Amino acid sequence: MTPRFLIALLLPVGLLSAWPTAATPPYTAITIESTSPYFVPKSVTISTGSPIKWENPTGSEHTVTHIGCVEEGDLCAFDSGLMLPNGTFAVPGLAPGRYPYLCRIHPIMRGVITVTETFAPSQL
């Protein structure tokens, strides 16, 4: 293979890798704050399959952790791991249900996501 042919092969891959991979707008944005209520908005209702994105503009590390991930025997729906200052965490979508979550580092920080069924016209 000539080097020129290699470049032609690699160029489209480079374009694809620059493409945003998760939670492109429209998504529900939740901002982390250092003071109460910590997650703004603290309570969010979305429809199933709708993406959510948390942003951490604070100077501290936080996590966005579904309660099910810290309570034994429950299903773990999402866990950001450590979110650094200016970090973000996105969830592409969730099944219908209620998802309380907290920050593992500061368990006083709590929020809740409520996911409803998507409106669908009755079947033909």
* Contact set with Cu ion (CB under 5 A): 62, 103, 105-106, 109
Task: Report the residue number, 32 or 50, with the smaller CB distance to Cu ion.
Answer: 32
Task: Report the residue number, 50 or 63, with the smaller CB distance to Cu ion.
Answer: 63
Q: Which helix (H) or strand (E) holds 91?
A: strand 88-91
Least Å from the CB of residue 26 to Cu ion: 26
Least Å from the CB of residue 73 to Cu ion: 24
Task: Report the residue number, 50 or 66, with the smaller CB distance to Cu ion.
Answer: 66
Least Å from the CB of residue 104 to Cu ion: 8
Can you tell me the distance from the alpha carbon of 28 to that of 100, in angstroms, rounded to the nearest whole number?
A: 16
Q: What angle do CA 31, 34, 39 make, to 5 degrees?
A: 35
Query: Minimal CB distance to Cu ion: which residue?
Result: 103
Can you tell me the distance from the alpha carbon of 106 to that of 78, in angstroms, rounded to the nearest whole number?
A: 17
Task: Report the residue number, 99 or 101, with the smaller CB distance to Cu ion.
Answer: 101
Read off the DSSP letter of residue 101.
E
**Rg of the chain over all Cα atoms, to the nearest angstrom:** 19
